[in-house]
Amino acid sequence: MSDRTSHWETVYSTKAENEVSWFQSDPATSLRMISNAKATVDSSIIDIGGGASRLIDALLARGFHALTVLDISAAALETAKKRLRPAGAAVEWIAADVTRWMPARAFDLWHDRAAFHFLTEEGDRAAYAERLRTAVAPGGQVIIATFALDGPEKCSGLPVQRYDAGGLARTIGPAFELVDHLTETHRTPWKATQAFQFSRFRRI
């Protein structure tokens, strides 16, 4: 088990889902961005670092059915599966480090809220971008949310890489065209605020 995997297994094995700073009971901004991407209930969507996120619950409730969640922590995925119960059987769950995962197919939409910014090493970011190019169909959409330039410098005890939309576009490369971006002030379960940026891209 890598140090990165071990860290996140410990986090999700020792904390409830609403005891982590990134918890959202209502993933409204992600849902808005997915709607703006013109995703339909038949669109194949992968949520990177989705873990115990409530996004998958919201998408299932809206009739989406071609859903995949990838997270480095098997414990996080188990939390979501237990919460969803039978509804979770319709979801493909993948326990993997995205920088080492080998996509078996392409998706219409890639969503990542607060996973990419933990990749502080250039090699890990390049590996992520390579998976992104492989796993998103031409014309497909990509939504990546990270801490904004005025966001926290650390999260869960780990350093993060902060972005604005332009910096993120340069990082993921010219295979993706920036089509939309916005900022969000996230309020943690203990009422602290964190500045996020959401960027949406189209696979060229």
pLDDT mean values, one per 10 residues, the chain (204 residues): 90 90 95 98 98 95 98 96 95 98 97 98 98 97 98 96 98 98 96 97 98
Three-state secondary-structure class, residue 186: strand
> What does the chain come to in residues?
204
Rounded to an integer, what distance in angstroms lies between the CA atom of residue 51 and that of residue 48? 8
pLDDT at 121: 97
Per-residue model confidence (pLDDT) at position 51:
87
3-203 under CATH 3.40.50.150, yes or no: yes
pTM confidence score: 0.96
Tell me if 90 sits within 8 A of 60, measured CB to CB: yes
How many of the other CB atoms lie within 10 Å of CB of 73? 23
The answer to whether residues 146 and 82 touch, using CB atoms and an 8 Å cutoff, is: no
- Provide the residue ranges of all domains of the chain, joining segments of one domain with +: 3-203
- Cα(145)–Cα(87) distance, integer angstroms: 26
